[in-house]
Amino acid sequence: MDKEQMELVVFEIVNSAGMAKGLAYEALSEAEKGNFEKAENLLKEADEALLSAHNVQTEIIQAEVNGKGITPSVLFVHSQDHLMTAIEAKTLIEGMIKMYKRIDNLEK
């Protein structure tokens, strides 16, 4: 994989992870307002974005297994950081949304 291809891969991972993280925070905002159905739909969109980033990551891993590995760059490591923080944020936000639902049910 040449430098230009690597930059495209990095951009794709960062873009998808950033989209997922943004959608997860938007879902949290909707849950705070009691819009739980919209929050769930936003989390599904976040899952799709994370899957896209994960698929790119899997391609890189498969290439390495097949002897066509890449030389990791700071940008590549940065993209992995974005992906992992997006996954962690989404997981935490899912728990927070469950709490909002529980509070909403208790208040009713």
Active site residues: 78
User: Does the annotation flag 81 for ligand binding?
Assistant: yes
Q: CA-to-CA distance for 57 and 69, rounded, in angstroms?
A: 12
Interior CA angle at 79 toward 73 and 83, to 5°? 150
- 8 A C-beta contact, residue 35 and residue 104: no
Q: CA-to-CA distance for 86 and 104, rounded, in angstroms?
A: 26
Binding-site positions read 81
Binding-site positions for Mg(2+) read 81
